[in-house]
Amino acid sequence: MTIINRTNSVPPSPEPVSHERTIWGETVIDRYAWLRDGTNPAVLDHLEAENTYAEETLAPTEELQRELYQEIKSRVKETDLSVPVVKDGWSYYSRSEEGKQYGIHCRRKIVKGVPGPEEVFFDENVQAQVGVGPDAAEGDYFDIGVFEVSPDHRLLAWGEDRAGDELFDIRIRDLATGEDLSDRLAGCAAGSAWATDNKTLFYLRLDDAHRPYQVWRHILGTDRENDVLVYEESDERFWCSVGRDRDDSFIHIGASSTLSDEVWLVPAAEPAAAPVCVQPRIDNLEYGLSHHKGRFIILTNHDAQNFQLMTMADSVDDSVDDSHDGNRSHLGLEQWKPLVPHREDVMLIGFEILADFLILFERAGGLTRFSFARWDHLGSDAAANLPMFEVIEQAEPVYTVWPGANPTPATTLFRFGYTSMITPSSLFTIDLETGERQLLKQQEVLGHFDSGVYETWREWAISADGTRVPLSLVARKDRISPAPAVLGAYGAYEISQDPGFSVARLSLLDRGYVVVLVHARGGGELGRRWYEDGKFERKTNTFQDVVAAGRHVVAEGLVDPERMGLRGGSAGGLMAGAVMNLDPELFCSVVAQVPFVDIINTMLDPSLPLTVTEWDEWGNPAESESIYWAMRSYAPVENVRAAAYPAVYATAGLHDPRVGFWEPAKWVLALRERSTSRSPIILRTEMGAGHGGPTGRYEEWRDEARTLAFVLGTTGFSDALS
């Protein structure tokens, strides 16, 4: 294995300060707990020293980084347009321009069926005030988290984050003049909804733990001090959301934990009306709904592990509950009637409504799919309704689909997205009456890209307990086997890591690499049970699945065991750290981006952002001894041991509200102290960003080029490394 030359670089070695934690009869010494204080100059100095060490260690790859960056950039059509979405006589789209970091939002007024001249109604580049040109200096952090055009299309509510801490300052722009009104709503969460009167905006405020816990109502032209509190969530396990129903009839206020939902409705035409609770929260009851022709369609896990669809009449006017305590509701479970029944082998994850058709968004066999039926073919017998649905078939064996923007229900055309690991992101419409399919747009890959030289396929690994774990693979057909490889996995929050196309990934494939996505337990690829089998006391199944995947591709002769890397971010970074402790020599290279590796200390501290809400995902080690010992068995920082660990590239964001920067900082120090190998272990912290890393597409490409250079340099590819 080739490693990066580090002979002239000395890693930072800060003074440890012992801090004891005693719980459930065990005392653990945390020698670097002091790194948590981001206001301490010594902590900032340490992070800067780590960045210097990372830069010095990666210096031999600088030419390779530039090469990779140019490869990524040369494949992207930098000046491009999205497919327009038409609503209320306006055609909305976005475009990018060569040399500009961010998107440009545009629209055209449609008069007698003909789109008029282009209006640029929001240019993110102007707002971000970054330099022009792909080689311009790195600009400040900039992210948009609120972006809602008013129902009359005259105003835009927009919110920006300048630090990466996911706090958005909301403003209101007059689209006729391009000027912002005097209204300012600072420190908000992402999410907003306009009332039909075009002057009332619902928005979210956060508590000290960074939890969206209040929904407020603001009337344009008034001081924020006069805003009205519409809903407040006192249970720290729940967070709030706000949005507008697809048919614009209601404002939805959501209160959700990981495993429970409660929805309140406000008629969009009556913004001052008291919210109505659909169904008071019940532990482990999840639901969401959408309005359609005098009734609600409800997606729920009520008596349905893999979810079902139910309906009820929209009797909101008879259900007003001024108490807000959720004790009364005329829209509750007793009113719900089955529409599409539960299935053991299919996970129902969403639905789309057209005037004449109901479209189901599902997971079956580890893949996404759509099925559809006519409304007039669906009756009151849910079991009889199921045969009425027809699956929209796809050509490739491994792929991903998702619903597109379908703003006009009065059509038979359904818009959806499609991609695979060899097919660029594509947007289709299908006429549900005739089956005719039309490609509206496919991501253009410049250069000499030919999807025919690659192949994608499915493998199944056998985990430690005998469970079959699906893998999605992609490689060039002319590769030499066994090949170098990078495996990626996540395995948490019921989030599925679906197979899709990546321009940057081509730089690995064209160098002979195999890329493998491991659909580990804890994700949602194979339904709710797949998720539940990878959490709480069963969390170690996630890590065993990834280990099994690595061993499988080696045993099958697909991958060279001396040149196999692993990549994961956030909860996927926890996965990477736990897998390294399980089998330190299985992978020769690990990329862990903003890794959640100090899980016990974080889950023991309810003052940290999101900790209380995360107990439903990971468990509360302060309340449950079994949860504590389960975490103790896999927590990456606390299970580092004397072993030949692989090369590690860890990243952090100083302002990250989701994973504290100190988690990877502590983990990297522990690895360096205990590793018996010479493999480099480096940490790079974005000092002006958060969980998602740098913003701006050129900066994102540079960041990815740096990561790929590390992967290539530690899996024996680059001649620039010693």
Active-site residue set: 570, 656, 691
Of the candidates 683, 656, 658, 679, which has an alpha carbon nearest to the alpha carbon of residue 669? 683
- Phi then psi dihedrals of residue 49, to 5 deg: -65, -40
Does 41 sit behind a cis peptide bond, omega within 30 degrees of 0 on the bond before it? no
Q: b/e map of 496-526 (b: 16 or more CB within 10 Å)? A: bbbbbbbbbbbbbbebbbbbbbbbbbbbbbb
In 207-268 the beta strands, taken as DSSP E runs, fall at: 212-219, 228-232, 239-244, 250-256, 261-267
Three-class SS of residue 676?
coil
Of the candidates 693, 697, 663, 696, which has an alpha carbon nearest to the alpha carbon of residue 164? 693
**Going by C-beta distance under 8 Å and a sequence separation of 6 or more, which residues neighbour residue 64?**
709, 712, 713, 718, 720
Three-class SS of residue 196?
coil
Can you read off the two tokens belonging to residue 448? 């000499």
Query: Within its chain, how far is the Cα of 683 from the centroid?
Result: 23
- Tell me how far apart the alpha carbons of residues 392 and 493 are, in angstroms, rounded to a whole number: 27
CB 230 within 8 A of CB 219: no
Integer CA distances (angstroms), 15 to 34, 35, 52, 675, 708, in order:
10, 11, 18, 19, 32
Of the candidates 702, 696, 695, 715, which has an alpha carbon nearest to the alpha carbon of residue 66? 702
- Tell me how far apart the alpha carbons of residues 561 and 557 are, in angstroms, rounded to a whole number: 9
Can you read off the two tokens belonging to residue 285? 């009851």
- Phi then psi dihedrals of residue 336, to 5 deg: -80, 135
Could you tell me if residue 21 is left (phi over 0), alpha (psi between -120 and 50 degrees) or otherwise beta?
Answer: beta
CA angle (445, 449, 454) in 5-degree steps: 120
Can you read off the two tokens belonging to residue 664? 């990877």
Q: Residue 157: what residue type? A: A
